[in-house]
Chain A
């Protein structure tokens, strides 16, 4: 019998191997536990960051709403109420320099503009490209605007809420361009397929550094609206190289039965 076949030596060898197996298996279990713990911590951190981001977006949404109310109040006070006050004094004092009918017509025009701003008229009957065109047409006196509305007829089937939100996003982007970009040209492209909508808005302005953490209320508002629509929103910009906004919605429920 060989030495290793001696039962005592065989038992000793087997014991050593058993201890090694126990050690290896225990090590695998401990290391795996440590790794899983780290994975859980990462997941918790990610969840927390997502929740904080959502809270920040909701808060910004509230701030934007308040800002909008202030603007409407300011328009009503500065434009409409001031004209009606002038009209009242003109009637009371029988001032011949003031034409009551002209002042009333101006007041109606201002009230109509405020109303259209709050909610576009004939929203149901107007397609998204038409809504955008109505909005940008006054700006063509100041900017060179290239507008490519897309030719897919299914865009008229969009729900009113979706149309309105997309219009608001376009308004917000254009307002940002007007306020900050110093651009001379704006390009707007729409593309419709059966189940998706893509929108690209580009300007040739001064751009901005996107790596800065702080974002204005407008950009956060655009992000929140795109999230509510279940879509994606991206923007690319570099200093002195203009800015490009891309909005993409992929959801067949954006359409309603004709």
Chain B
């Protein structure tokens, strides 16, 4: 077994953890509150996207999956916008809605008009970067509002926000330099993909833990 095959096997940690998360989420779905149901939907989107990445990159005749990155970024931004706008930030302000709308339009314009998505040598995923930066902004906005006393301190949301903040900060950095990472030799960039995989798996595990905990608490309260 060579190094590449080893990393291929280790990379299956991501869909396995996602599958566990979806099962935990579906078992508790009726008991979960709305924000955690959104997280279950997010895990489902991640799982489907992971399978598509593998199929398009390994099994299909295209052998190319990078164009999925901004599409996935768009879906991530939609999910986290709903989560933060309606539940975590409890902020129904027009300026935030305008910000979200603008970011989504920018990502859509990249998907619709940019042709560089299908050339690996010139590939840049500004859509994913915009989505990640927007999610990081939501996290910082949450901290700001808590410090100002505009929203009450909720320990579950604080942990969720911390996990999202760390993961998407790392993700933002990685996808800023994605052109280098996909074109350079693997032995130079393996460290980044390992960090990406570890942060992704840890992030999913924290989400699964929060879903399980919320389901358990609401079962006890009934």
A associates with B: yes
Residues of A at under 8 Å CB distance from B? 7-8, 10-11, 14-15, 17-18, 21-22, 25-26, 28-29, 32-33, 35-36, 39-40, 43
Residue numbers in B under 8 Å from A43 (CB-CB):
153
Contact of A25 among B158, B165, B185 (CB under 8 A): B165
Residue numbers in B under 8 Å from A29 (CB-CB):
162, 165-166
B143→A32 contact, CB < 8 A: yes
Tell me which of B147, B188, B189 has the highest count of chain A C-beta atoms within 10 A of its own C-beta: B188
Q: How far is the CB of B162 from chain A (nearest CB, A)?
A: 5
- B19 CB within 8 Å of chain A: no
Mostly helix, strand, loop or mixed at chain B's interface?
Answer: helix
B170→A21 contact, CB < 8 A: yes
Residue numbers in B under 8 Å from A22 (CB-CB):
166, 169-170, 195
**A10-B180, A22-B170, A40-B153 known; A32 vs B192 contact (CB < 8 Å):** no
Residues of B at under 8 Å CB distance from A? 143, 146-147, 153, 158, 162, 165-166, 169-170, 173-174, 177, 180, 184-185, 188-189, 191-192, 195
A25→B188 contact, CB < 8 A: no
A14→B143 contact, CB < 8 A: no
Cα A231 to Cα B9 in complex, Å, equals: 70
Residue numbers in A under 8 Å from B147 (CB-CB):
35
Which 8 A-B pairs have CB atoms at the shortest separation, nearest pair first? A11-B188, A25-B169, A29-B162, A7-B184, A21-B173, A7-B188, A25-B166, A15-B191
B170→A36 contact, CB < 8 A: no
Residue numbers in A under 8 Å from B195 (CB-CB):
18, 22
Residue numbers in B under 8 Å from A28 (CB-CB):
165
Residue numbers in A under 8 Å from B169 (CB-CB):
21-22, 25
B158→A33 contact, CB < 8 A: yes
Q: How far is the CB of A184 from chain B (nearest CB, A)?
A: 49
A25→B170 contact, CB < 8 A: yes
Q: How far is the CB of B209 from chain A (nearest CB, A)?
A: 16
Residue numbers in A under 8 Å from B146 (CB-CB):
36
Residue of B nearest to A22 (CB): B170
Q: How far is the CB of B121 from chain A (nearest CB, A)?
A: 14
Cα A40 to Cα B154 in complex, Å, equals: 10
Residue numbers in B under 8 Å from A39 (CB-CB):
153
**A17-B173, A33-B158, A36-B153 known; A11 vs B191 contact (CB < 8 Å):** yes
Residue numbers in A under 8 Å from B177 (CB-CB):
14
Having A18-B174, A25-B165, one finds 13 other A-B pairs with CB under 8 Å, namely A10-B184, A14-B180, A18-B173, A18-B192, A21-B173, A22-B169, A25-B169, A32-B143, A35-B147, A36-B153, A36-B158, A40-B153, A43-B153
Q: How far is the CB of B26 from chain A (nearest CB, A)?
A: 30
Contact of A11 among B162, B166, B189 (CB under 8 A): B189
B173→A11 contact, CB < 8 A: no
Q: What are 29 inter-chain pairs, A to B, with CB distance below 8 A?
A: A7-B184, A7-B188, A8-B188, A10-B180, A11-B180, A11-B188, A11-B189, A14-B177, A15-B192, A18-B173, A18-B174, A18-B192, A18-B195, A21-B169, A21-B170, A21-B173, A25-B166, A26-B166, A28-B165, A29-B162, A29-B166, A32-B143, A32-B162, A33-B158, A33-B162, A35-B147, A36-B146, A40-B153, A43-B153
